């Protein structure tokens, strides 16, 4: 329904008194917009019963009334950081307002929980004239009977008190807010410096890379070894705040991370994977920053692949099956990893992050002995080791690779970092001596240059509903999207950090389904859509019921990963 202004908050009180004791659907009479003096409350959608997903509420506050200094949201970096700070403040202060008031979700007041990264979220948006806050409320009921008096307490007392404590500058921790924004500005300055210096990653001295556990993204406490840069890789940069930050700088090209098992190789790579995002103070990875286009690449047995040119890596398959538009309903480790690389490059990846442990061995390397045993004419795979240098020289795509057993990669490395008990050491010169002393004897198997980067065009995103058929596109959890009857599994898409991103990806799929035209490259469609979200806010992804407050900004790479895993994807 269209949301219409129903008047001052007194109208809301009278409505709640009138529907008290009636059936739960009577709560729908509340949908509308109400003035509360310093802010406006919109009840956008009322849940169908107390056990259904809670009702969607929105608060709009004029920026002039909120009083937040304009310099704290004067550009996209500052705006995102300030929105993030406000959300964190609201989330933590809301804990004191949570109480049960009846059946199911009755009494719930909740807002999106922020994780360790600073990204845009639909829960809090600073627009041109207003601060917009989106949250959910479990309207109280006993069984399925309206509890009007308890609803009055929630809507007329609890919510206004929470709003006053959370979203007005006078009530915020102003020093922490300024520090939160200043950190984001400094982090962005490091990213600009990296681009100017030809760097793809930076790991600050003192960083805490290990996490609390496999189920937690919070930093490890006691026992964590602070990061200390090797002298050869150490760089310093002065930041807008005046502070100096020193750490390990990784240049463009091919970088190997080696060392014994359990010494921190994969931990460092995982930190770089998450370095595409800024992190909050105290996370331990505030100064772990990677090129925002960096993509983690791994083997993904069993995934759907549609029309991907994997011929740089796999060609001359038995029975003449072509690989320049390769499709399969169940990819092998090698074909899936080849497809993942080509899809990442298609959307603009400038850095590939690869761990030997999660790669297909036959895709990564063929040593001299296997080359002698199985002639090249009988082996359709051109291993990554023979394309990595070309990817950089011809396409400008760098690689950071964790290796524990494939020593042949020392032949192509520009830099080699050895992890010993979580301490990095520069062993590049030693690696070069090893190469000279112990030649691998293997032959390079790549033939010819790389061709143009892929730019596929989409005819149809996926199966469309038949007339009268129910059709939903929704995130079921952080790694699963239902696109109608199809399942889009994102289990191997490792750089998703919040379920809100998956929800936003589902919304992107709905929008893209109507935008595909068979002419515009898929990557362009995705970048254009995300650009409209950056410019217009999350309302650009809103459906018929308005914009929910549980979305978080995804990268183009993760949106593309979902598109590429659609079972019904049809390409030109």
For 201, which DSSP code?
E
Question: Which of 437, 469, 495 is the last residue before a domain boundary?
Answer: 437
For residue 8, pLDDT over 70 is answered with no
- Residue 161 falls inside a structural domain: yes
Same domain for 476 and 526, yes or no, is yes
Task: Write out the two tokens for 113.
Answer: 């929980």
Asked if 107 contacts 140 with a C-beta cutoff of 8 angstroms, the reply is yes
Radius of gyration of the chain, Cα coordinates, nearest whole angstrom:
26
Q: Please tell me the predicted confidence (pLDDT) of residue 1.
A: 35
Percent of the chain with pLDDT over 90: 86
In degrees, to the nearest 5, what angle opens at C-alpha 95 toward C-alphas 93 and 97?
90
**pLDDT (average), residues 479-486:** 93
Listed in sequence order, the residues at least 6 apart from 105 whose beta carbon sits closer than 8 Å to its beta carbon are 47, 50, 51, 52, 54, 138
For residue 372, pLDDT over 80 is answered with yes
Chain centre to alpha carbon of residue 493 = 9
Please tell me the total number of residues recorded for the chain in this structure: 572
Sign, Cα dihedral of 66, 72, 77, 81: negative
Question: Which of 172, 206, 232 is the last residue before a domain boundary?
Answer: 172
* Phi and psi angles of residue 325, each rounded to the nearest 5 degrees, phi first: -140, 65
Q: Please tell me the predicted confidence (pLDDT) of residue 7.
A: 53
Helix (H, G, I), strand (E, B) or coil at 55: strand
447/529 Cα distance (integer angstroms): 38
Same domain for 332 and 398, yes or no, is yes
- Residue 399 falls inside a structural domain: yes
Question: Which of 172, 188, 219 is the last residue before a domain boundary?
Answer: 172
Listed in sequence order, the residues at least 6 apart from 499 whose beta carbon sits closer than 8 Å to its beta carbon are 475, 477, 478, 550, 552
Same domain for 422 and 469, yes or no, is no
Spell out a b/e string for 38-68, using b for 16 or more CB atoms within 10 Å of the CB, else e. Answer: ebbbbbbbbbebbeeebbbbbbebebeebeb
Could you tell me whether strands 145-146 and 244-251 are parallel, antiparallel, or unpaired per DSSP bridges? unpaired
Same domain for 407 and 373, yes or no, is yes
Same domain for 300 and 410, yes or no, is yes
Could you tell me whether strands 109-110 and 130-137 are parallel, antiparallel, or unpaired per DSSP bridges? antiparallel
Report the predicted TM-score, pTM, of the whole model to 2 decimal places.
0.95
Helices 174-197 and 76-94: angle between axes, nearest 10 degrees = 140
Asked if 493 contacts 558 with a C-beta cutoff of 8 angstroms, the reply is yes
- Residue 303, number of CB atoms within 10 A of its CB: 21
For residue 5, pLDDT over 50 is answered with no
- Residue 547 falls inside a structural domain: yes
**pLDDT (average), residues 267-272:** 98
Task: Write out the two tokens for 247.
Answer: 């750490």
19/23 Cα distance (integer angstroms): 8
73/88 Cα distance (integer angstroms): 16
Same domain for 58 and 129, yes or no, is yes
In degrees, to the nearest 5, what angle opens at C-alpha 461 toward C-alphas 502 and 521?
95
**Alpha carbon separation from 292 to 64, 194, 195, 289, 341 (Å, rounded):** 34, 11, 11, 8, 16
How many domains does the chain contain in total?
A: 3
Same domain for 163 and 76, yes or no, is yes
- Residue 550 falls inside a structural domain: yes
Task: Write out the two tokens for 185.
Answer: 């500005």
Task: Write out the two tokens for 193.
Answer: 């410096």
* Residues 547-565 pLDDT 10s: 999 999 999 999 999 999 9
**Which DSSP helix (H) or strand (E) runs through 535?**
helix 522-536
* Residues 430-473 pLDDT 10s: 999 999 999 999 999 988 899 889 999 999 998 777 776 778 89
Q: Which domain holds residue 43?
A: 5-172
* Residues 296-351 pLDDT 10s: 999 999 999 999 999 999 998 887 788 999 999 999 999 999 999 999 999 999 99
441/452 Cα distance (integer angstroms): 31
545/398 Cα distance (integer angstroms): 43
Please report which residue ranges of 396-446 form alpha helices under DSSP H.
428-437
Same domain for 92 and 151, yes or no, is yes
For residue 111, pLDDT over 90 is answered with yes
Q: How confident is the model at residue 68 (pLDDT cuts 50, 70, 90)?
A: very high
493/530 Cα distance (integer angstroms): 18
């Amino acid at each position: 329904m269209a949301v219409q202004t129903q008047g001052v908050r007194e109208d809301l009180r009278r409505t709640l008194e009138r529907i008290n004791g009636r059936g739960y659907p009577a709560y729908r009479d509340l949908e509308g917009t109400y003035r509360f003096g310093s802010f406006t409350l919109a009840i956008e959608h009322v849940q169908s019963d107390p056990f259904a997903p809670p009702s969607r509420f929105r608060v709009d506050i004029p920026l002039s009334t909120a009083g937040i200094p304009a310099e704290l949201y004067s550009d996209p970096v500052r705006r995102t950081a300030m929105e993030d700070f406000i959300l964190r403040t609201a989330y933590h202060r809301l804990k004191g307002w949570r109480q049960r008031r009846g059946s199911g979700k009755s009494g719930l007041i909740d807002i999106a929980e922020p994780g360790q990264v600073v990204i845009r979220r639909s829960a809090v948006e600073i627009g041109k004239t207003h601060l917009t806050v989106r949250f959910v409320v479990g309207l109280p009921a006993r069984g399925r009977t309206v509890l009007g008096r308890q609803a009055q307490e929630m809507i007329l007392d609890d919510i206004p008190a929470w709003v006053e404590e959370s979203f007005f500058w006078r009530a915020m921790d102003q020093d922490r807010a300024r520090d939160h924004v200043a950190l984001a500005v400094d982090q962005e300055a490091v990213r600009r410096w990296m681009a100017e210096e030809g760097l793809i990653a930076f790991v600050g001295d003192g960083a805490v890379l290990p996490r609390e556990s496999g189920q937690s993204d919070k930093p490890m406490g006691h026992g964590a070894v602070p990061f200390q840069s090797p002298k050869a890789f150490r760089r310093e940069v002065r930041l807008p705040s005046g502070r100096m930050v020193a750490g390990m700088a990784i240049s463009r090209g091919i970088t190997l991370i080696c060392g014994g098992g359990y010494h921190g190789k994969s931990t460092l790579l995982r930190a770089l994977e998450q370095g595409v995002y800024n992190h909050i103070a105290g996370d331990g990875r505030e100064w772990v920053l990677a090129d925002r286009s960096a993509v983690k690449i791994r083997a993904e047995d069993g995934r759907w692949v549609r029309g991907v040119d994997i011929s740089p890596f796999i060609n001359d398959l038995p029975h003449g099956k072509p690989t320049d538009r390769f499709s399969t309903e169940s990819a092998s480790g090698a074909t899936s990893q080849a497809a993942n690389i080509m899809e990442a490059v298609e959307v603009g990846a400038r850095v590939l992050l690869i761990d030997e442990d999660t790669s297909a061995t036959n895709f990564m390397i063929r040593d001299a002995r296997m080359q002698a045993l199985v002639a090249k004419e009988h082996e359709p795979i051109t291993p990554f080791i023979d394309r990595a240098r070309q990817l950089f020289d011809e396409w400008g795509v760098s690689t950071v690779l964790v290796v524990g057993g494939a020593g042949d990669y020392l032949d192509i490395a520009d830099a080699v970092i050895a992890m010993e008990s979580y301490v990095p050491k520069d062993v590049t010169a030693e690696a070069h001596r090893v190469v000279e002393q112990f030649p691998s004897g293997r032959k390079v198997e790549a033939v010819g240059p790389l061709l143009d980067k892929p730019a596929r065009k989409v005819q149809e995103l996926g199966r469309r509903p038949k007339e009268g058929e129910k059709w939903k596109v929704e995130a079921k959890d952080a790694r699963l999207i239902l696109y109608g009857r199809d399942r889009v599994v994102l289990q191997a898409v490792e750089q998703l950090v919040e379920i809100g991103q998956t929800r936003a990806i589902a919304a992107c799929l709905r929008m893209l389904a109507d935008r595909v035209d068979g002419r515009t490259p898929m990557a362009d469609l995705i970048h254009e859509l995300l650009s409209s979200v950056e410019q217009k806010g999350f309302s650009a992804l809103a459906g018929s019921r308005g914009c929910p407050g549980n979305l978080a900004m995804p990268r183009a790479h993760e949106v593309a990963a979902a598109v590429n895993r659609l079972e019904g994807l049809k390409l030109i």
